[in-house]
Amino acid sequence: MKTFLYSHLVCYEDTDAGGVVYHSKYLNFAERARMSFLHENGIICKEMAQGEKPCGFMIKHCEIDYRRPALLEDELIVETHLLELRGAGFDCLQTVKRGEETLVEMKLQVVCVTPSGKPIRIPENIRTKLAEIS
């Protein structure tokens, strides 16, 4: 299983008045990491949306385990692992770390959808790229 790493420096906009990362911001960090993960592996979301059969990825389900808080100016790494590739989607694990310390762990189900939100099978060219990652 390949691991994709995405770094993020915690900014003021990420924190509450006490300098602690606000809980919903971890979803933003994970989204940026997934987008970079796809892009780095040749899966360009803009091309998917504008292709012959337009489609995109959407989160169907997310489980989050908050273990420790991140703080202002912490240097975080979001690790992304593709766990399972299925017909219309894939499962991934995203872990937010500060050094070796795990702060947040997210398990996600990602599904491929049409512009109207209907689930569809992942296009074969995208499936091939995802299969190479797993």
Q: Which amino acid is at 36?
A: S
Residue 90 CA to residue 110 CA, distance in Å, equals 5
pLDDT confidence bin for 125, thresholds 50/70/90 = very high
Residue 74 a catalytic site member: no
Domains contained in the chain, number:
1
Q: Per-residue pLDDT for 51 more than 90?
A: no
Compute φ and ψ for 120, nearest 5 degrees: -140, 160
Structural domain for 34, as ranges: 3-133
Active-site annotation holder among 14, 16, 65, 74: 16
Q: Per-residue pLDDT for 1 more than 70?
A: no
Q: What is the pTM of this model?
A: 0.93
**Burial class (CB within 10 angstroms; exposed 0-12, middle 13-18, buried 19+) of 112:** buried
1-5, 59-63, 124-128: least confident range: 1-5
Instruction: Give the pLDDT of residue 52.
Output: 85
Q: Per-residue pLDDT for 118 more than 70?
A: yes
pLDDT confidence bin for 133, thresholds 50/70/90 = confident
Query: Taking a C-beta distance cutoff of 8 angstroms, is the pair 6, 32 a contact?
Result: yes
Q: What is the CATH number of the domain that holds 10?
A: 3.10.129.10
